[in-house]
Amino acid sequence: MTDSHARISRPVYIQTIVHCCLPAAPVTIVYYVCLGHRRDYLGHFSAGYGGTLIALVLAIIATPQNRFVALSGRLVICVTLFCIVGGILAEATVFRLAIFDLVDMCNQNIGAVLAGLTSIPCIQTAKQTLAANNQPGDAANKPSDSQLRSMLACGIGFLLLGTYFAVT
Amino acid sequence: MGCLFAMANVWVTAGRSTIYYSLDGTVTAMDRRLEKHPGLDDVYLISINSRAWIQIDKGLFDQLHIGSQLTKERWSKQIEVEGQSSRLEYSSDLVGMVRALPLICAILIGYGFFVAKQSAFQQ
């Protein structure tokens, strides 16, 4: 890791966590305040958000560096849609306890859509950071490991929070 | 898209109050199914004239038994069960969803604009 990477590492790490938590925190509060008696609704939202963030990180890792700039926009849309469909299938099969609950599915998908939106500033922060570093080797503009780790940590955090609220 | 899901939440929850349904017939089957939190998120289902299950709120389910005669006009809060009129109430789920809907939509739209503006600024 170069000196410039070491210098920017911490702010980018914090910035990514802020980007990941900023939109989800007010929605979490809205669910808690308005629907506090049904914490499973908050759980489904949070799990949808966390699960989609994790899927986005995995998709970013799997995307070849030289094609990332061209693919990043479509990647976010495709992964978000994939998670929406995956959430619907999961709700219709493994999580179908009494009936296929449309409300649970909608809450999950609100989280998935918000996670898709959230990933856009994270990707843009990567572009800004790498442009600022002006390193030829980083011309692919892929988020750094530090950013991906931050996004992954937020995703796992929200998924665990969602599981806690949905199950307990 | 997120706003559509939030609106669908309200619509589905409102459907469970049966207020926007027109009901006329005999309850031929009733079922209470348990979810993850028994007593809190149980699913109450009825079938009228052997048609498809309708999910309803607990308040109405408790008034019914198999063979109950139901009459209700669409969008009316008055329901007649065995000739006795009673008033349907909005469930706490629906009240919560109606309060949450504009706030969630405002956050989604506001954040969407923020992201779009930021993208435009950087390009």
Q: ipTM value of the model?
A: 0.83
CA B29 to chain centre: 20
Tens of pLDDT, residues A105-136: 999 999 999 999 988 877 776 666 656 665 55
In B17-91, which ranges are continuous DSSP H helix?
58-61
Tens of pLDDT, residues A132-155: 665 554 445 677 788 888 889 999
Pairing of strands B23-33, B43-48: antiparallel
Question: Can you give the pLDDT at residue A138?
Answer: 47
Q: Are A40 and A168 in contact (CB under 8 A)?
A: no
Picking from B4, B90, B98, B115 by the largest number of A CB atoms within 10 A of its own CB, the best residue to mutate is: B115
Token code pair at residue B34: 């348990």
3-class SS at A35?
coil
pLDDT confidence bin for A47, thresholds 50/70/90: very high
* Nearest beta carbon to residue A30 from set B9, B100, B118: B100
pTM, full prediction: 0.84
Instruction: Give the angle A149-A151-A154 at the CA atoms, nearest 5°.
Output: 105
Q: Are B71 and B79 in contact (CB under 8 A)?
A: yes
* Nearest beta carbon to residue A97 from set B5, B35, B45: B35
Question: Are the beta carbons of B96 and A103 separated by less than 8 Å?
Answer: no
* Nearest beta carbon to residue A40 from set B36, B97, B122: B36
